[in-house]
Amino acid sequence: MSSTTNLAHEEHPLSAGSILTLTQMGMVAFLVSEVAFFSTLIVAYLTFLGKDTIGPTPLEALSLPTAIVSSVFLLASSGTIYLAEKQLHLGSLRGFQGWWTLTFLLGATFLAATAYEWSELIRVHQLTISRNLFGSTYYTLIGFHALHVSCGLVAMLAILFLSFRGDVKSEPGGGAELVSWYWHFVDCVWIVVFCIVYLWGR
């Protein structure tokens, strides 16, 4: 019996012909579902774009410069997380931790910029979620993006913590890699959101 129970704890062998590891596949599947989720929010945003009769319109309320600055921070963080992974790959835990921390800081700055943007919208333009359709759809879409950024930041902290215990390795399907995939995804969503909300929809 004991020999067979041992077997039960063995790793699952991967199917022949699998290009991705199990965790990589899981992350891809999860991100596909996230695409469906964000597409729905974007559809709702576009449905109501320009349908308001009261309250501020996107053109009146949204500040393009703020959005551009915050976008720069977020897009830069995709670059730094790539560099962090590269350092890990080269075997430099120090280098990894440095770039990883910088990524975290860039993401946090983006979040702070969003907070600043929202406070301006509420203070200056009285735009709240209940003000009009633009408010409802804008805060929902941007809010869910910000929520995803926050989750990414928490995950980054966890990985950072693990890396100080020496538990982070460069491996396919490892934690650092998965977080970076997720992070790139969140950035891509932002590019789409930026184009629709801040450029095209104004």
Tell whether residue 130 is a contact of another protein (CB under 8 A): yes
Which of these ranges, 129-137, 150-158, 176-184, 194-202, lies near another protein under the rule CB under 8 A?
129-137
Integer angstrom CA distances of residue 70 from 26, 91, 136, 146: 30, 32, 22, 12
Residue 25 is a binding residue for another protein (CB under 8 A): yes
CB of 55 vs another protein, minimal distance in Å: 10
Residue-by-residue DSSP string for 22-70: HHHHHHHHHHHHHHHHHHHHHHHHHHHTT--SSS--HHHH--HHHHHHH
Q: CA-to-CA distance for 182 and 179, rounded, in angstroms?
A: 5
Q: How far is the CB of 77 from another protein (least distance, A)?
A: 25
**With binding defined as CB under 8 A, does residue 12 bind another protein?**
yes
Kindly state the tokens that stand for 191.
């590019």
Residue from 71, 80, 97, 137 touching another protein (CB under 8 A): that is 137
CA distances from 60 to 41, 52, 55, 70, 196 (A): 22, 13, 9, 19, 16
Binder to another protein among 90, 124, 129, 151 (CB under 8 A)? 129
* Residue ranges that bind another protein, judged by CB under 8 A: 4-5, 7-8, 10, 12-18, 20-22, 25-26, 29-30, 32-34, 36-37, 39-41, 43-44, 47-48, 51-53, 129-130, 132-133, 135-137, 139-140, 144
